[in-house]
Structure 1
């Protein structure tokens, strides 16, 4: 029997957690998962090895009910660079292997027109970098009308001005969704997002 907050997760997620021998939530997961499931915008800060990436994955799958729907992405995961994008893609595949969710990874090393055409074929989860995603948005390469959750992994990379500006540009083109930012520390610059897309946000720090 899974303890809270795991036991109310989708059965596909519980099956995968059990197969990975993850039966107890970390302190960070126990605090963050219920708040993310509630739909609130959230700043999450915790040290390495606290379970942040696993939390990002399972709450994304929970929000999408572990099944493919339509053609437009319903979840976006923003990462620092190509290397992080591929790591996140591989991490997601461990959890989506036995369901219908379609995970797509893009980065600035890929031609934007290729990404645009592949995304239009239908995806559920888009993993991308700030520059790549911003370019897609500027070319109307991503339909965000069905977007439910936008997560940022290790959000410290948004502090430099170029990435910070790209994030603001991206979020201005999204009508409405839930935002969850994960990092080891929430810097004052990240907190400034509260005056933009992180309005009414909550914070969890472990």
Structure 2
């Protein structure tokens, strides 16, 4: 199967080929013909399967094949709208659009908060065919009268599960009310919760359902392991594992921004180069940390869940859950940073007595038991008593120019992170150092997409 055989134009196939990709992934093989046909689509795919190209390539094809609908007066119309939960993902999706559409006469832009709105207003005065945006900043533009969505032909909700986790449902409903009823709708989600199904039922018209992996499943190329350990020995065990196994490019997850900062500082003192990224870090600090991590000069990157959305690194070998997530589905997203595009990856979780219920929830959702191995010298105290778990403090954090709603139940309160518009304006990385998004997200079309 080739990209040309899926019905894509020579100009699109040329751009894809120049990026080094020749064969579509399963999600692309199934999704591209559906999107090209104009049908609504509900797509389920685990991270790293090439999902983004599954909708960007056919959208480029459809828009380039058709002229603008209806008379255009004043500001040129936005023809396709892609909503994403985080600014990093928005930047990466829009870069995909630019890379794949380099030989087409279509324009695109990103729109998110945490940065000045004025350059975005200026850009909207020119033609924008494809807009990739986070919900909160999009509604800011609507309120200021700088954006017209009345001629949108295609709507994409990307990472819909994360958007609901972050409390965006009210924003999404407001945006849907501004769109023309006659449009194509595409919804992509790594997991299909009851809330996602309800949203899909209200949004999609006789959709085609595509699932390329069992729901809430991790890639088979990821080796998963649990290391039981006392809570006050986690940092020492992590340092031991990194040094003993000579690990480099280790992505470590914590629940809170404060915890990420503290762990990065402690690892540095242990002689392991580490930096933290989260919403309270400046845009420059996040950009530098990501750049150093991708280049391999930074050994450990400590991240919160939301901040890690959009981290897309070739051959990332190690993911460590320093603390298990409060939401079981987040475990799948976390470990999906490794084992991408068929590469082998390793996911290790350090689990203390406080987290036994969280581990049970994860194994129930994944429908499998994760192998457990006690590391000699770090045997947990069998008489240790569990203590209450601190709730995550905003994940990717900051206002991020997104979201108005409170997080849905089950998303751990403030863990909605970027969902709350009452939070302070905190700049975050625009993913300026992210890799080019390819059909598979960066190498060959076997994945790196969310």
TM-score by length of 1: 0.87
**Equivalent pair of 1:72/1:120 in contact (CA under 8 Å):** no
The answer to whether structure 1 residue 201 and structure 2 residue 200 are counterparts is no
Q: Distance in 2 between matches of 1:51 and 1:83?
A: 17
Aligned residue in 2 for 1:186: 192
Aligned residue in 2 for 1:109: 114
Shift of 1:146: 2.6
Q: Distance in 1 between matches of 2:120 and 2:199?
A: 28
**Match for 2:101 among 93, 96, 100?**
96
Aligned residue in 1 for 2:167: 162
The aligned length equals: 205
Aligned residue in 2 for 1:45: 44
Residues 196 and 172 of structure 1, relative CA distance in 2, 3 Å threshold: farther
Shift of 1:124: 0.8
Shift of 1:66: 7.0
Shift of 1:19: 1.5
**Equivalent pair of 1:78/1:152 in contact (CA under 8 Å):** yes
Higher relative contact order (CA 8 A, sep 6+): 1
Shift of 1:111: 4.0
1:140-151 residue pairs with structure 2 within 5 A? 140-151=145-156
Q: Give the secondary-structure state (helix, strand or coil) at the position aligned to 1:203.
A: strand
Structure 2: segments with no counterpart, 5+ residues:
213-450
Aligned residue in 1 for 2:136: 131
**Equivalent pair of 2:27/2:51 in contact (CA under 8 Å):** yes
Aligned residue in 1 for 2:32: 33
Q: Give the secondary-structure state (helix, strand or coil) at the position aligned to 2:203.
A: coil
**Equivalent pair of 2:159/2:189 in contact (CA under 8 Å):** yes
Structure exhibiting the larger radius of gyration computed from Cα positions: 2
Of Structure 1 and Structure 2, the greater helix share is in 1
**Equivalent pair of 2:35/2:58 in contact (CA under 8 Å):** yes
Q: Give the secondary-structure state (helix, strand or coil) at the position aligned to 2:28.
A: helix
- Residue deviations 1:100-127, cap 9 Å, x none? 2111111012344553342132211111
- Residue deviations 1:75-103, cap 9 Å, x none? 11111122222222222221233332111
The answer to whether structure 1 residue 58 and structure 2 residue 57 are counterparts is yes
- Residue deviations 1:32-67, cap 9 Å, x none? 111111112211001122110111220220121179
Shift of 1:161: 6.5
1:71-82 residue pairs with structure 2 within 5 A? 71-82=76-87
